Structure 1
Amino acid sequence: MEIVIALLFVAVVLFGVDRLMLGLESRGHLNWRRTRRRDLSAEPTAKLDSLLVSSSRERTHQP
């Protein structure tokens, strides 16, 4: 009987956590179950060299 109660408790806790995460997802705080992954090939890309060169130029022009 104790095992049944423990399993029910775990199920209720997991259900509550899932509902909490879905609520946070609906407010835009995180991606949980309903939001698909972004297509990274459609995202703009930047090369590491260009990032390093622009940051070093900014440092040299400051007095």
Structure 2
Amino acid sequence: MEIVIAFLFVAIVLFGVDRLMLWLERRGHVNWRRTKRRDLSGEPTAELDTLLAHSSQEPKRP
């Protein structure tokens, strides 16, 4: 009987967390289930190779 109560408690907690996350999503704080992912191909990118190449040209410390 205790295992049934434990499963019900877990289900209720998960349902509550899901509702909380949906509420936060409506307010614009998180992307949970309703919002699709952004297309990152159009976003500006920082080229990691150029950032790392400049760090090797720094003066050496004595």
Deviation at 1:46? 4.7
What TM-score do you get using the length of structure 2 for normalisation? Answer: 0.70
What TM-score do you get using the length of structure 1 for normalisation? Answer: 0.69
Give the gaps of 5 or more residues in structure 2: 51-62
Q: Which has the higher helix share?
A: 1
For the residue of structure 2 that corresponds to 1:20, the secondary structure is: helix
Give structure 1 regions of 4+ aligned residues with deviation exceeding 6 angstroms. Answer: none
One-letter code of the match for 2:38? R
Residues 30-62 of structure 1 deviation map (CA, whole Å, 9 limit, x = unaligned) = 11111111000122335565xxxxxxxxxxxxx
One-letter code of the match for 1:7? F
Q: Kindly report the root-mean-square deviation, in angstroms, between the aligned alpha carbons of the 2 structures.
A: 1.3
